[in-house]
């Protein structure tokens, strides 16, 4: 009988240590307009546990010694970034545009082989075999109109079409830059709401892709996360023959 994959004790400890060290008071004001303390009371364990579970699923799809680019790496991504480094010895570039959050994350990761960067992920050089793009294009703070539309909350009375178009261009540019550096075949981890950006990029370039059916809830906001095989031999979608992909759980 095959044993279930599990996390090494040292990795489990490293994840627990970082979650103990995080400054949840400061994170509360970054993540929430109000109720930050309650938010982290409810989410802290959730992020650690779900992140580790998702990390195991991710590790099984990644090769030893490869490289990953994380766009919008925050608290939820801590277990994943650590697992990639500690269990698969992979290079990880974890980017986030919130300067204060990056400082908090790096303080908590002191002494561990992980750094978060206050940097536009679209400007990172080099190539990688895995791109993490989770809850970025539907970030209500940075892309309010795109976010409203993606989540089905757009109000026809107040929707700002002009802003929407500039947000749409900004995300297309970011996706273009990030996917342009993905080695093919490669893996993309994203959400069901954002997978259209990946699919669109593949269609435009005639790159086959396959969206895996299984989804995992994102630890912070519960967006369903899925894996996309880009340019894989096993890809069952060719350009011009779109597949629906996973649907958002109701
Ligand atoms: C809604 S948050 C999601 C954070 C995390 N992935 C999660 O699920 O909790 C979006 C994050 O994407 C980051 N972001 C947006 N555009 C970015 C870019 N071009 N490069 C790096 N990070 C970016 C923002 O700074 C923010 O931290």
Give 189-234 pLDDT, tens digit per residue. Answer: 999 999 999 999 999 999 999 999 999 999 999 999 999 999 975 5
Give the pLDDT confidence of 23-37 residue by residue, as tens digits: 999 999 999 999 999
**Residue with CA at minimum distance from ligand 1 atom 23:** 72
Q: How far is the CA of 74 from the centre of ligand 1 (A)?
A: 7
**Tokens standing for residue 4:** 């279930």
Tokens, residue 101: 């959050």
- Ligand 1 centroid to 185 CA: how many Å? 25
pLDDT in tens, 39-49: 999 999 999 99
Could you tell me which residues come within 8 angstroms of residue 85 by beta carbon, excluding any fewer than 6 positions away?
92, 112, 113, 114
Q: Between the CA of residue 241 and those of 176, 210, 233, what are the distances in Å?
A: 21, 11, 16
Going by C-beta distance under 8 Å and a sequence separation of 6 or more, which residues neighbour residue 57? Answer: 216, 227
- Residue 113 confidence (pLDDT) above 80: yes
Residues in a beta bridge with 93: 69
142: pLDDT strictly greater than 60: yes
Question: Which pLDDT band, with edges at 50, 70 and 90, does 244 fall under?
Answer: very low
pLDDT > 70? residue 86: yes
Confidence of residue 5 (pLDDT cuts 50, 70, 90): confident
Is 117:101 a contact under the CB 8 Å cutoff? no
At 154, give phi and psi (nearest 5°): -65, 135
- pLDDT for the residue 6: 87
Lowest mean pLDDT among 15-24, 56-65, 119-128, 236-245: 236-245
In short, whether 218's Cβ falls inside 6 Å of ligand 1 is yes
Whole-number average pLDDT of the chain: 92
For residue 249, pLDDT beyond 50: no
DSSP annotation string for 129-164: EEEEE-SSTT-TTT-HHHHHHHTT---TTT--HHHH
**120 CA to centre of ligand 1 in angstroms:** 10
Compute the average pLDDT of residues 148-170: 96
Q: What's residue 250's pLDDT?
A: 39
**If you measure from the C-alpha of residue 241 to the centroid of ligand 1, how many angstroms do you get, rounded to a whole number?**
30
Residue 115, ligand 1, Cβ within 6 A? no
189 Cβ inside 6 Å of ligand 1? no
Please work out whether the CB of residue 136 comes within 6 Å of at least one atom of ligand 1: yes
Looking at ligand 1, which residue's alpha carbon is closest to its atom 11? 72
Task: Extract the runs of DSSP E, i.e. beta strands, from the chain.
Answer: 67-71, 91-96, 116-118, 128-133, 182-191, 209-211, 216-217, 224-230
Confidence of residue 235 (pLDDT cuts 50, 70, 90): low
Residue 202 in contact with ligand 1 by CB distance below 6 A: no
Instruction: Kindly report, residue by residue over 121-131, the tens digit of the pLDDT.
Output: 999 999 999 99
Any ligand 1 atom below 6 A from CB of 100? no
pLDDT of residue 1: 52
For the domain 9-230, what is the CATH code?
A: 3.40.50.150
Q: What is the rounded CA–CA span in Å between residue 2 and residue 237?
A: 31
Structure token digits, residue 234: 């096993």
Residue 241 has pLDDT above 80, yes or no: no
Q: Is the pTM of this model over 0.85?
A: yes
3-state secondary structure of 16: helix
Give CA torsion, residues 91, 75, 138, 29, to 10 deg. Answer: -140
Q: Is the minimum distance from the CB of 94 to ligand 1 under 6 angstroms? A: no
Cα-to-centroid distance, 156 and ligand 1 (Å): 26
Largest separation between any pair of C-alpha atoms in the chain: 59
């Amino acid at each position: 009988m095959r044993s279930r994959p599990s996390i090494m004790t040292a990795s489990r400890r490293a994840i627990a240590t970082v979650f103990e060290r995080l400054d949840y008071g400061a994170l509360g004001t970054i993540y929430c307009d109000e109720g930050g303390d309650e938010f982290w009371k409810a989410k802290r364990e959730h992020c650690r546990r779900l992140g580790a579970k998702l990390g195991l699923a991710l590790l099984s799809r990644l090769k030893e010694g490869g490289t990953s680019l994380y766009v919008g790496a925050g608290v939820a991504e801590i277990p994943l970034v650590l697992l990639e480094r500690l269990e698969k010895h992979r290079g990880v570039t974890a980017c986030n545009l919130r300067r204060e959050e990056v400082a908090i994350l790096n303080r908590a990761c002191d002494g561990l082989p992980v750094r978060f960067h206050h940097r536009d992920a679209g400007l990172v050089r080099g190539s990688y075999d895995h791109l993490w793009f989770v809850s970025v294009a539907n970030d209500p703070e940075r892309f309010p109109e795109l976010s409203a539309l993606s989540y089905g909350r757009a109000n026809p009375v107040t929707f700002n079409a002009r802003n929407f178009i500039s947000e749409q261009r900004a995300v297309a540019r970011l996706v273009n830059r990030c996917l342009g550096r993905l080695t093919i075949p490669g893996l993309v981890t994203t959400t069901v709401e954002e997978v259209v950006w990946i699919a669109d990029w593949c269609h435009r370039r005639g790159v086959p892709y396959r969206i895996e059916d299984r989804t995992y809830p994102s630890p912070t906001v519960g967006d369903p996360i899925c894996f996309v095989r880009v340019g894989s031999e096993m890809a069952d979608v060719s350009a011009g023959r779109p597949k629906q992909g996973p649907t958002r759980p109701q």
